[in-house]
Amino acid sequence: MSDMPNVPDILVVGGGIVGLSIAYGAARQGAQVAVLDESELEADPSHSNSSLIWVQGKAAGGPAQARWRRESVRQWSRFDRALCDEAGIGPLLQQPGGFFFCFSDEDLQRRGQLMQALQDSVDGDYPFEMLDRQSLKARLPEIGPEVVGASFTAMDGQVDPAELLRALRICCQQRGVVIHQDQHVGSIRHLQGTFQLRTATSVWRARKIVLAAGLDNRRLAAHVGMLMPVFRQRGGRVLLSQPIAPFLPYPTNTVRQFNDGSICFGDAVEDAGLAGASLDSMGEMVLQGLRTFPHLGRVHLTHSWQAPRIGAPDGSPVWQASQRCPGAYVVTGESSVTLAAAHAMRLAPWIVDRSLSDTQEVTVGDAVLDAGLVTQSMAPTVPFLTLDKTTRTVFPVLP
């Protein structure tokens, strides 16, 4: 598609799940795509990402994001088939539905109200069940005495994030996407309709760029006139590598059982620098899991790991299209596994050709700043650009 020799149509900055999902989706549309990936000493957030494809309870108060997350779940089976067919691997997706456990009558009532509000916000397109203890125990006999009920949606599932990343790399390369390693982008300029990105070793050019660089989006977005108030979170998981007999065929908010029989106690997320995971948080995760399934107290914890994650001030994923530098996009958020299908099958085609869909714009800059969640001073200073206070999040409108 590119009419400039050796210049890709789209240059994606970031080789994690977000970046490669978009690169793969764009390549499926016939675009020439390249990826700049920075090798880091710290753990790659994609490798520590939650394996959950999780819809229930997310995007409360935000109908556009609730619809977008719901749409991604709809697209996941098609996305999974495409990846597996092209990569020559078995299915990645497990989608039996998921449970969110409650430990008091008040919690169960609040959970029901939240789920109902989400369903109402998207005109009923949000199926869920609220289960009392008796109904829940009929499905999961091993629940402990402190569990009073749960919400359930058939939309939820799980995917091994490492296997997803591997499949994306294989499929991208088979479709001609060139992935350049050890490329830290130092600056970005928009010159006569072309973007110029400078690294320590090279100068790269493209007609469009997609910033999917995690925490570095905060710095890079400023180069194309956007305020991207992302910050580092700490994510931790504790695994029981000792296999036990299968008992949990569903993902849940506290405990998951992997195919090999090992147990994963749910993820902890908190503000963080680069320090190690909080032992208090890890301990609380295990205790919550034991309240849910007391028989797990007899198994041995053998491994734990954590790596930083990236989040916006309100916890929502953010998509932006630059008004100052048309052709520049930024995508960030902590739900990269859940949203991978929408990024590849919906967002990427729209980035390739915006005539494929109308757009719905949601003003986010003023709201974020006025709520005190982030200040203008958090944005890096770029000498040749002045940031607008108001930026816009752009969602392709779903047909």
Q: By mean pLDDT, which of 75-84, 142-151, 347-356, 390-399 is the weakest?
A: 390-399
Share of the chain above pLDDT 90, in %: 49
Give whole-number Cα distances, 231 to 28, 105, 186, 286, 312, in Å: 32, 35, 19, 26, 6
Report the chain's mean pLDDT, rounded to a whole number: 80
Beta carbons of 320 and 363 less than 8 angstroms apart: no
Among 27, 79, 167, 18, which Cα is nearest to 345's?
79
CA distance 318 to 311: 9
Tokens of 315: 């916890």
Average pLDDT over residues 197-224: 94
**Residue 38 pLDDT > 80:** yes
3-state per-residue secondary structure call for 257-319: ECCCCCEEEEEEEEECCCCCCCHHHHHHHHHHHHHHCHHHHHCCCCEEEEEEEEECCCCCCEE
Per residue in 238-272, pLDDT (tens digit) is 566 588 999 999 999 888 888 888 888 866 444 33
Q: Output the pLDDT for position 40.
A: 52
Q: By mean pLDDT, which of 57-66, 182-191, 221-230 is the weakest?
A: 57-66
**Residue 9 pLDDT > 90:** yes
Average pLDDT over residues 119-148: 94
Q: Output the pLDDT for position 275.
A: 40
Average pLDDT over residues 317-345: 87
CA distance 339 to 331: 11
- Kindly give, in sequence order, each residue whose CB lies less than 8 Å from that of residue 39, ignoring residues fewer than 6 positions away: 181, 182
Among 43, 74, 53, which Cα is nearest to 399's?
74
Tokens of 165: 């990343």
**Residue 385 pLDDT > 50:** no
Average pLDDT over residues 327-355: 89
Q: Where are the domains of the chain?
A: 10-50+162-230+314-396, 98-153, 231-311
Share of the chain above pLDDT 70, in %: 74
Tell me the whole-structure pTM to 2 decimals.
Answer: 0.84
Beta carbons of 171 and 24 less than 8 angstroms apart: yes
Tell me the fold of 10-50+162-230+314-396: FAD/NAD(P)-binding domain (3.50.50)
Beta carbons of 213 and 66 less than 8 angstroms apart: no
**Residue 399 pLDDT > 50:** no
H or E element in which residue 179 lies:
strand 178-180
